């Protein structure tokens, strides 16, 4: 482009626009898609107009956030099907500067509005990598037991695994010695860096199993994390000082959510869980608080509160459970926080939301 023809036109009617807009035309209507200003992780919104220069009528979010902060994209038609091209961080463990290109089909309602895009990218089987952050893939393994010899046949070098991805519903048991002997580790979530757990390049045999997915909450044991963020949990635009995903003797898995400070958290780490109206859900969580801590560690699940203070059971995990009826709601909010005037250190782990049959 050498020059522009005419004056610049201010685009009006847009809500929450951040950057990187893309405009396309379909059936006489113009669409603008753009990343919005959602806290921490951008989502993709869209607006419609009768003119490529607006004014625009905002319609809302049609692509949920991914595992990286940014969200950029475009929509094109190919052989009668429309596709959204965008990026996430699935190949780098959520590092925003290492983006993974992906695309998914886009579908329109009869009135021309966009349906929510189903983000389908992801591994179908446990996938093992030579380097951290899911780089230099060895290969995949289906359900089964794999000795050193079996792993070699599959092209997976067990003694050189540094990271791996697990789809929902899969678990792997990794053994230091061949034929499933010696020290072992069990994983139910993807692991970005095995060196943090002291077991990089140590596996000689592996068992892969499947289990039914019951927990509606994502990352309830805080195993997934990247870019100094806690995956699937929202700390609000300003974040919460003193909260971190910490490698700690855990109630379940290897990581826990930890808060350490000398005052209230100034907010709550939260996750919204999609539920069906009129159903009863079991809410459970493990809490721990250090001795000599003032105040309480709290988990708030709508009508259910779990609290623990250092005067009763300090220094060990305490399991709580209760139930919540969704009523007319379609979402239940799970919030990790502390009481006012908190001073000390506390932990959350193994949080679950399960529909009661």
Mean pLDDT of 26-44: 90
Average pLDDT, the chain: 89
Judged against a pLDDT cut of 90, whether residue 62 lies above it is answered with: yes
Give the per-residue pLDDT at 66: 84
Q: Is there a contact between 247 and 323 (Cβ–Cβ < 8 Å)?
A: no
pLDDT class for 195, splitting at 50, 70, 90?
Answer: very high
Highest mean pLDDT among 145-154, 303-312, 328-337: 145-154
> Do 91 and 138 lie in a common domain?
no
Q: How many C-beta neighbours within 10 Å does residue 155 have?
A: 12
* Rounded-to-integer distance, Cα 196 and Cα 220, Å: 19
Verify that 131 and 102 share a domain, yes or no: no
Whether residue 177 sits in one domain with residue 57: no
Same domain (yes/no): 138, 32? no
- Mean pLDDT of all residues in 89-106: 76
Mean pLDDT calculated for residue range 119-131: 86
The more confidently predicted of residues 172 and 229 is: 172
**Total count of domains within the chain:** 3
* C-alpha atoms less than 13 angstroms from C-alpha of 309 in its C-beta half-sphere: 9
pLDDT score of 227 more than 60: no
Indicate whether 94 pLDDT > 80: no
Decide: residue 290, CB within 10 A, 0-12 exposed, 13-18 middle, 19+ buried. Answer: middle
Interatomic CA distance for residues 320 and 87, integer angstroms: 39
Give kind and range of the element (H or E) at residue 294: none
pLDDT of residue 155: 94
Q: What percent of the chain has pLDDT over 90?
A: 58
User: Other CB atoms closer than 10 Å to residue 27's CB: what's the count?
Assistant: 6
Asked whether residue 334 carries a pLDDT value surpassing 90, the answer given is yes
Q: Are residue 246 and residue 349 in the same domain, yes or no?
A: yes
Last residue of a domain, one of 106, 141, 173: 106
pLDDT of 345 reads 94
pLDDT value of position 95 = 63
Which CATH number characterizes residue 165's domain? 2.60.20.10
Exposed (0-12), middle (13-18) or buried (19+): which is 312, by Cβ within 10 Å? Answer: exposed
180 and 269 part of one domain: no
Buried b or exposed e, range 58-97, using 16+ CB within 10 angstroms: beebbbebbbbbbbbbebeeeeeeeebebbbbbbbbbbbe
Indicate if the alpha-carbon torsion angle 176, 348, 242, 163 is positive or negative. positive
Retrieve residue 181's tokens.
Answer: 């002997």
Residue numbers of the domain that contains 233? 225-355
Of the listed ranges 156-170, 234-248, 304-318, the least confidently predicted one is 234-248
Tens digit of pLDDT for each residue in 259-302? Answer: 998 765 666 889 989 899 999 999 999 999 999 999 999 999 98
Helix count and strand count (H, E) for the chain = 1, 25
Using a pLDDT cut of 70, give the percent of the chain over it. 93
- pLDDT of 4 > 70? The answer is yes
Among 181, 210, 239, residue at a domain's last position: 210
Report the pLDDT averaged over residues 105-115: 94
Find the range with the poorest average confidence among 12-16, 53-57, 76-80.
12-16
Residue of higher predicted confidence among 253 and 121:
253
Whether residue 169 is found in the same domain as residue 288: no
**pLDDT at 338 > cutoff 70:** yes
Q: Rounded to 5 degrees, what are φ and ψ at 153? A: -65, -30
Q: pTM of the predicted model, to two decimals?
A: 0.72
Judge if 235 and 350 occupy the same domain. yes
pLDDT of 225 reads 75
Counting Cα atoms < 13 Å in the Cβ hemisphere of 135 gives: 9
């Amino acid at each position: 482009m050498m020059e522009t023809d005419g004056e610049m036109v201010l685009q009006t009617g847009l809500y929450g626009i951040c950057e990187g807009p893309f405009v396309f035309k379909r059936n006489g209507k113009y669409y603008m898609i753009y990343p919005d200003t959602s806290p921490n992780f951008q989502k993709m919104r869209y607006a419609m107009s009768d003119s490529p220069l607006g004014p625009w009528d905002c319609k809302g979010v049609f692509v949920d956030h991914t595992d990286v902060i940014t969200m950029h994209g475009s929509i094109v038609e190919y052989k009668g099907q429309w596709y959204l091209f965008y990026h996430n961080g699935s190949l780098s463990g959520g590092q925003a500067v290492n983006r993974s290109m992906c695309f998914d089909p886009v579908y329109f309602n009869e009135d021309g509005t966009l349906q929510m895009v189903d983000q389908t990218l992801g591994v179908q089987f446990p996938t093992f990598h030579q380097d951290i952050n899911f780089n230099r893939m060895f290969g995949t393994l289906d359900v089964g037991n794999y000795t050193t010899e079996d792993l070699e046949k599959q092209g997976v070098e067990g003694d050189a695994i540094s990271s791996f991805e697990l789809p929902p519903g899969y678990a792997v048991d990794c053994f230091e010695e061949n034929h499933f002997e010696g020290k072992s580790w069990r994983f139910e979530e993807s692991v970005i860096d095995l060196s943090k757990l002291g077991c990089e390049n140590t596996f000689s045999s592996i068992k892969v199993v499947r289990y039914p997915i019951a927990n509606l909450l994502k990352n309830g044991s805080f195993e997934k994390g990247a870019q100094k963020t806690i995956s699937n949990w929202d700390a609000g635009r300003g974040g919460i000082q003193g909260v971190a995903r910490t490698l700690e003797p855990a109630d379940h898995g290897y990581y826990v959510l930890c808060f350490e400070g000398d005052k209230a958290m100034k907010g709550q780490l939260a996750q919204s869980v999609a539920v069906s109206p009129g159903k009863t859900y079991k809410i459970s969580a493990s809490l721990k608080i250090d001795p000599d801590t003032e105040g309480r560690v709290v988990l708030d699940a709508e009508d259910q509160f779990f609290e623990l203070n250092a005067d009763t059971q300090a220094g060990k995990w305490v399991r709580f459970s209760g139930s919540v009826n969704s009523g007319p709601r379609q979402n239940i909010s799970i919030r990790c926080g502390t009481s006012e005037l908190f001073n000390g250190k506390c932990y959350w782990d193994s949080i679950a939301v399960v529909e009661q049959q």
